[in-house]
Amino acid sequence: MVKGTKRFFLEIAYDGTAYHGWQIQPNAVSVQEKLNLALQTLLRAEVETLGAGRTDTGVHAKQLYVHFDSDNILLINSPDRFVHSLNALLPFDISVTRLLEVEAASHARFDATERSYEYHVHFTKDPFLINRSWQLRDRLDVQRMNEAAKLLLGKKDFGCFSKSNTQVFTNICTITEAKWIEVAEKLVFHITADRFLRNMVRAIVGTLLEVGAKGKSISYVEEVLASQDRSKAGTSVPAHGLYLTKIKYPYIDPIKE
């Protein structure tokens, strides 16, 4: 970090429909690209952001933290004004919730201790859920899916649910919550872990649907985990039903979230 600059966290949210995910990439529009452009316009300086994680094309985020460094006095003296001004520069489908000054060594990705996702499905045609939930024709056996989901809990190798050829140092994750909840005419899958592999949640949902919709045994989940083979797991479900919902840090007060 350059002397005189301070590190800040931004809490943001976005509808991912129009974007090729969070991370900047060539020849595609990303959330990070739009955020960096707005920050650079407001601060009149080059800004590099780093997110707590990446979301794929079409995936939404109700809460994502990013960090960046700046020496701009506006950030320190008028954080609310800064958030208001930044929101005015961002597209309608990206919003900033708050700005936090943090310690210089704080890291949006490596300091996160817990991440949560939701996956939304519905059964009745609803134009207001387009690109926000996945419509299924057949009802699901929620009880059996929840019994199968319990088999995911704990510290395990989840390589069977990961996109192939990803550059990660380990496939070990610790899942602390995995359950389906019925909400009116919708079903929402909630999952929380210390970390997630690429495509992991969508592959897990697809695997649980094999139990709840296609009649596979509850022990099928154990068989998939033991195989360590992505081809044994269910198909990845569409991205538009997936939401990153919460990220926890040891130094951010959850009461204020």
Higher pLDDT, 167 or 16: 16
pLDDT band at 257 (very low <50, low <70, confident <90, very high): very low
The pLDDT, as a whole number, for residue 161 is: 94
Reply yes or no on whether the pLDDT at 256 is more than 70. no
Reply yes or no on whether the pLDDT at 125 is more than 70. yes
Average pLDDT (58-67) is: 97
The pLDDT, as a whole number, for residue 165 is: 63
The pLDDT, as a whole number, for residue 148 is: 97
Average pLDDT (60-78) is: 91
The pLDDT mean for the chain works out to: 93
| Per-residue pLDDT tens digits for 17-49 | 999 999 998 889 999 999 999 999 999 999 999
Higher pLDDT, 124 or 184: 124
Q: What does each C-alpha distance from 161 to 172, 220, 228 come to in angstroms?
A: 11, 13, 8
pLDDT band at 1 (very low <50, low <70, confident <90, very high): low
Q: Do domains 6-110 and 114-246 have the same CATH topology?
A: yes
The pLDDT, as a whole number, for residue 106 is: 97
| Per-residue pLDDT tens digits for 150-208 | 999 999 999 999 977 666 788 999 999 999 999 888 999 999 999 999 999 999 999 99
Residue 36's Cβ-side half-sphere holds a number of Cα atoms within 13 Å equal to: 15
Report DSSP letters for 10-78, one per residue. EEEEE-GGGSS-SS-BTTB--HHHHHHHHHHHHHTS----EESS---TT-EEEEEEEEEEE--HHHHH-
Catalytic residue among 56, 80, 138, 141: 56
The pLDDT, as a whole number, for residue 236 is: 95
Domain residue spans of the chain? 6-110, 114-246
Lowest mean pLDDT among 64-78, 124-138, 169-183, 191-205: 64-78
Bridge partner residues of 7 (DSSP): 69, 102
Phi and psi torsions of 130, nearest 5°: -60, 130
Reply yes or no on whether the pLDDT at 226 is more than 90. yes
The pLDDT, as a whole number, for residue 135 is: 97
pLDDT band at 248 (very low <50, low <70, confident <90, very high): very high
Residue range 6-110, CATH number: 3.30.70.580
Domain 114-246 listed as CATH 2.40.50.140: no
243 labelled binding-site residue: no
Does the annotation mark 56 as catalytic? yes
Higher pLDDT, 183 or 127: 127
